[in-house]
Amino acid sequence: MRFADVVGNGHVKEVLRRAADRDRVPHAWMFTGPDGVGKRTMALAFLSYLVCRDRRDGDACGECRPCRQVADGVFADLQVLSPEKGYIKIEPLRESMPRLFYPPLTGPWKCLLIDDAHTMTNEAANAALKTLEEPPSMVMFVLITPSPDLLPRTVLSRCFEVPFGPVPTDEVVSFLQSRGRSGPEVASAAALSRGSPGRALQFLDSPVLAERTEFLSSFLDLVDNDAEPRLKFADGVGSSKEETADLMLLVESIARDVLRAAAGLPDDTLSNRDLAYAIRSFADRVGPDRAVDMATAWLDWDATRRFVPNVRATMDRLLQALPNPPAPARG
């Protein structure tokens, strides 16, 4: 695993590289930012750089034994904690902490990587805090989370936070192509991903992408429909547990596009540029205030879906933002 393997966020690579080169590595890091932008991959690339035996051109060699072990997930001095059934509980933390106080087996660093750190229970966070306050030498913590605000302030204050941002669309396209993906779906997935290579891969592996045009066109047509088609559409979004998450990403993309169109932004800012005319017609019908209401409905769902993933209620609220359909003409 090397920095070269991470797409985008060059500023983060530079911060990590300088810290290692100057031998001024904080013992606790927090990588924050949207899901799928490479936070975990960057953490592993950073660890490889720290333990590499033959650094080259500001990067790990990727060939020495420690580099290969990190890439293969068998590096003895790396522990990874991830949520089980939605949470990281205290027992895994308690089991991991004593191992940090032993000297590195491969060296020179040991690392505890806590993925989705915001899912730690209060007891687990307090257990981690004790070691964060008095860490063993040559031990590095990396907490990865899209929601640092859900962590206790005492934990946040012990970590050096590094924010990750969206990856430019053209870099997402290049990433997908490097994975052997091709065709017009690549550009669509990259545009819909909002700068997340991981989300773009998710789209490409989902049958929803093939339904994108039909699904979004059906949504845009609802502005001229009465209550029955609107209710039927809302029912359809939540009918398949396997596809609901991907469909909601499409809903997000169209809600954002309508808001952009209502604000007068150009077509090249839209995620669904091939539907630009229909999106602008829709935005003209609903107006700026209702466009904001639609976007807010999705954002509120996104903020609470880890706890209350009520898709139907969100769709109802989003569709309520639509104006009443025109009354049928009387003969």
Do 99 and 237 sit in the same domain of this protein?
no
Indicate whether 51 belongs to any domain: yes
Per 3-state DSSP, the chain is made up of helix, strand and coil in percentages (nearest 5) of 60, 10, 30
Do 153 and 36 sit in the same domain of this protein?
yes
Segment 101-127 shows an average pLDDT of: 87
End of a domain among 141, 163, 185? 163
Do 114 and 251 sit in the same domain of this protein?
no
Give the mean pLDDT of the chain: 84
Tell me how crowded residue 29 is: count the other CB atoms within 10 A of its CB. 23
pLDDT of residue 80: 92
Query: d(Cα 256, Cα 240) in Å, to the nearest integer?
Result: 23
The torsion of the CA quartet 158, 43, 6, 15, rounded to 10 degrees, works out to: 40
DSSP for 7-62, please give it: -S-HHHHHHHHHHHHTT---SEEEEESSTTSSHHHHHHHHHHHHH-SS-BTTB--S
Do 131 and 218 sit in the same domain of this protein?
no
Indicate whether 179 belongs to any domain: no
End of a domain among 110, 134, 163? 163
| Tens digits of residue pLDDT in 182-240 | 777 888 888 888 888 888 888 888 777 778 888 888 888 888 777 788 878 777 776 55
Query: d(Cα 20, Cα 93) in Å, to the nearest integer?
Result: 26
Query: d(Cα 259, Cα 247) in Å, to the nearest integer?
Result: 18
Write 94-100 long-range contacts (CB < 8 A, 24+). 94/127, 97/127, 97/130, 97/131, 100/131, 100/135, 100/136, 100/139
| Tens digits of residue pLDDT in 277-330 | 999 988 888 888 888 888 887 777 776 666 656 677 777 777 777 777 655 555
Do 108 and 221 sit in the same domain of this protein?
no
Do 156 and 215 sit in the same domain of this protein?
no
Alpha helices (runs of H) in 53-100, residue ranges in sequence order: 65-72, 90-96
Do 155 and 8 sit in the same domain of this protein?
yes
Reference 223, options 268, 167, 278; nearest CA is 278
In three state form, how does the secondary structure of 146-161 look? CCHHHCCHHHHCCCEE
Do 137 and 11 sit in the same domain of this protein?
yes
Query: d(Cα 215, Cα 248) in Å, to the nearest integer?
Result: 11
Indicate whether 52 belongs to any domain: yes
Query: d(Cα 196, Cα 213) in Å, to the nearest integer?
Result: 21
Indicate whether 182 belongs to any domain: no
Please give the span between the terminal C-alpha atoms of the chain, in angstroms, as a whole number.
71
CB 7 within 8 A of CB 121: no
pLDDT of residue 325: 62
Indicate whether 194 belongs to any domain: no
pLDDT of residue 162: 93
pTM for this model (two decimals)? 0.79
CB 193 within 8 A of CB 203: yes
Indicate whether 200 belongs to any domain: no
Residues 6+ apart with CB under 8 A from 220: 254, 275, 278, 279, 281, 282
Do 159 and 210 sit in the same domain of this protein?
no
Do 141 and 243 sit in the same domain of this protein?
no
Do 212 and 155 sit in the same domain of this protein?
no
Domain count, the chain: 2
CB 80 within 8 A of CB 43: no
Query: d(Cα 261, Cα 42) in Å, to the nearest integer?
Result: 35
Indicate whether 170 belongs to any domain: no
pLDDT band at 18 (very low <50, low <70, confident <90, very high): very high
| Tens digits of residue pLDDT in 50-98 | 999 989 888 999 899 999 999 998 998 899 999 888 889 989 888 888 8
Alpha helices (runs of H) in 147-226, residue ranges in sequence order: 153-156, 169-178, 184-192, 197-204, 212-221
Do 154 and 211 sit in the same domain of this protein?
no
Indicate whether 62 belongs to any domain: yes
Residue 141 maps to which CATH number? 3.40.50.300
End of a domain among 103, 130, 163? 163
Domain of residue 260: give its range.
Answer: 206-320
pLDDT band at 181 (very low <50, low <70, confident <90, very high): confident
